[in-house]
Structure 1
């Protein structure tokens, strides 16, 4: 492997057997088991057909090949279930590949799940020294770093408390500080940073950028926040159904592909979404989501700011669930803006039609994306907004007030 290569992946595949519950926590495993006992859908199952499957199992990753150079900041992009977290666990050597090889040139520090790598009975300070020892550092070398780690984490008054008493936010602060400051060549970070508050997220992203540009450390970053990906990363890898579908030396090209745009950053006009039969849920099956003018015609051009429009949603319901609700989320240039009020009034059996007014005059010029989300409240996702499964795009202006109205 060339000296300038940090990671080389060759024909990498990971296969999982079906029938084994492993959601990461006992509580989530019990939820999955109980749902199966009741004959209901697993609340932690992935939406749609995400992987190549066989009767015995599925390929979470299949035939991945790529190289990452030293000093690269690589954003790994894909919908939920695309295989991003599985890939990071393989690269971090938390799990082993079924097929293929991973060649790594340097030490890896990983930040994948809250609490990963920490012993709950040990204090924050003791965990710092334990993680440093795992990376091959001496006690004296860790001594030189420990004060910087504690200061960066901003949990100094609790550093000698067992980490089992930490909140998830405190866990993330300390875990990131440890991963960023101890001696490693490659830093791998998953969506776990989303647990922290906005100020710490900004601080952490700044630190990762500093490590890459200033110290030449290689960074792999997974997030559904495209603005964060764009600000931090210079290259991109897009995963779909466990396969690499795109690799770019320009991160904007990867982001544009993920958001359904052309390489010139112009939106592919997708003001109309229709269910092709691949998605079904007895409580809430979207048939179509379209942007229409006041005459009921689907809009296929830029919205004029002097006009009003409607977002029309058609939903089939085969079984009434009193806890089913849904909303839409509005994004502008990759950044989340606002969501509609959650609509959870009782629906009718059969086809239901809902309208959401879009007042173009209230929008600032730009490109927008609308994502439909639905759930059985506090039980399971029907449509997880991170999957961006039901999406329409439009170009115009504003962050209007979004409010559903039932069509009589």
Structure 2
């Protein structure tokens, strides 16, 4: 374990539903008797997989089950999964907030955790006092903490309130100070949960930069849980995908994000609404359907980059004399907004439209886009004054592919490759004497 900072072996955590505590006195006695004999927890055998969407037959649920992986020293490891996948439970076990039911962990170095707003802070103490308290918990001397104090306060941006009890801080101020304490008091391992989502965009950017710095420059290990795919991709070279308490895959972050998005959202080439009352819109206009089509106007879920991609949406105009235009937004599987386009010609003409059912299609060259899963949102809005009448953010999705064959549009450069858009541009080479 020379260069391994964290080793997780067959980790499991069993919870009992519907009760506070471990259960009845007989359950506790059975558990104690099993431990004395060196046997497995008898109730672990009846524990079920943690699937929130189904009703189980047992009161015992495995929040984590048979989880194993290693984290190298200086590595930034991402942890991805749906709500209820076991991410927070895993971090709590690693942070020693709770004990595992089965398995074990080996940790090399001090751990600082940021699992939720206010973790490790005493609400009655001031910001200054909490900094020294957290440093003492990490085993640092007062002189060591004092040497880092100014950096912590400067990074957090709460200097004016540093001598105010933290119970009077906003959630954003709490997170700012808590992250600064965790990042600057030099733990060997930094564990960060989704809590950074509370901060503003500027502070999130600072946090990501700091985590990268402590990993690359200081050789410290970071475990990072987030639903922000772009942040995960920028920060983590490798990630773990959790599903229903088990490790589904460990691979490079881009592969993990692709697997996660494909499994949970997948390609959906068309979406329709049969009932006007349930369809997106208002009493003026209602969206009936959105589809991805090819050049033959067939509904598809996969498009070769050598072909045009059509986004077609049908809507019903309920009131005559309306003037409006249409828009589409396209996002990649990291959540990056790739394309925003609206019908400029329709907007400029401002033609009054009669009641009826209409279909609008926008065509996009396939070779503009990088390969992968893309999500489409559609909108209809009026001008003068501007007002959005309907906006279906995740209407449909499709996969852009470049088959690795002799007629590949990009030759050898196919599949995963940097760039959010990858247009085939004209290149001119000139021989200079």
Quickly name the TM-score band, shorter chain normalised.
0.5 to 0.7
How far the C-alpha of 1:3 sits from its partner, in A, is 2.2
Question: 1:255 pairs with 253, 257, 266, which one?
Answer: 257
Deviation at 1:365, TM superposition (A): 2.6
- 1:8-407 correspondence to structure 2 within 5 Å: 8-20=7-19, 48-49=53-54, 54-248=57-251, 250-260=252-262, 270-272=267-269, 291-292=292-293, 297-299=298-300, 300-302=302-304, 308-310=310-312, 330-337=330-337, 359-361=362-364, 365-366=369-370, 367-370=372-375, 392-395=397-400
SS at match of 1:215: coil
Secondary structure, aligned partner of 1:183: coil
Deviation at 1:20, TM superposition (A): 3.9
Q: Is the 8 A contact 2:303 2:309 kept in 1?
A: no
Using the TM superposition, give the Cα deviation of residue 191 of structure 1 relative to its aligned residue in structure 2, in angstroms. 0.9
TM-score of the aligned structures, taking structure 1 as reference length: 0.67
- Provide the C-alpha distance between the structure 1 equivalents of 2:84 and 2:257, rounded to a whole number of angstroms: 17
1:338 and 1:356 mapped to 2: Cα distance? 24
What is the CA–CA distance in structure 1 between the aligned matches of 2:359 and 2:177, rounded to whole Å? 43
Q: Write the deviation string for residues 201-220 of structure 1: whole angstroms up to 9, x where unpaired.
A: 11110100010010100010
Gaps in structure 2 of 5+ consecutive residues: 22-49, 272-277, 280-288, 316-327, 341-356, 378-392, 402-419, 422-433
| Structure 1 contact 111–175 (Cα < 8 Å) conserved | yes
Secondary structure of the structure 2 residue equivalent to 1:360: strand
306 and 371 in structure 1: CA distance in 2 versus 1, 3 angstrom threshold = closer
For residues 81-135 of structure 1, the C-alpha deviation after alignment (integer angstroms, 9 at most, x for no partner) is 1111111111111111111111111100011101111111111111101100100
Change (3 A) 1:124 1:153: same
What is the aligned length? Answer: 313
- Offset at 1:360? 3.4
Deviation track 1:246-288 (CA, whole Å, cap 9, x = no partner) reads 112x322222222339xxxxxx9834489xxxxxxxx99xxx9
Report the TM-score when normalising by structure 2: 0.63
Q: Deviations over 1:355-401 (max 9, x none)?
A: 996623499634453389xxxxxxxxxxxx9xx9x973333999xxx
Alignment deviations for residues 29-63 of structure 1 (CA, whole Å, 9 cap, x no partner): xxxxxxxxxxxxxxxx98635x9x55112111101
**How far is 1:312 from its partner?**
8.6
Residue segments in structure 1 that go unaligned for 5+ positions in a row: 23-44, 262-267, 275-282, 314-327, 341-353, 373-384, 399-408
Structure whose CA Rg is larger: 2
CA contact (8 A) 1:74 1:235 kept: yes
Partners of 2:5 and 2:73 within 8 A in 1: yes
Instruction: Give, in whole Å, the separation in 2 of the partners of 1:111 and 1:356.
Output: 50
> Structure 1 residues 203 and 100, CA, compared in 2 at 3 Å: closer, same or farther?
same
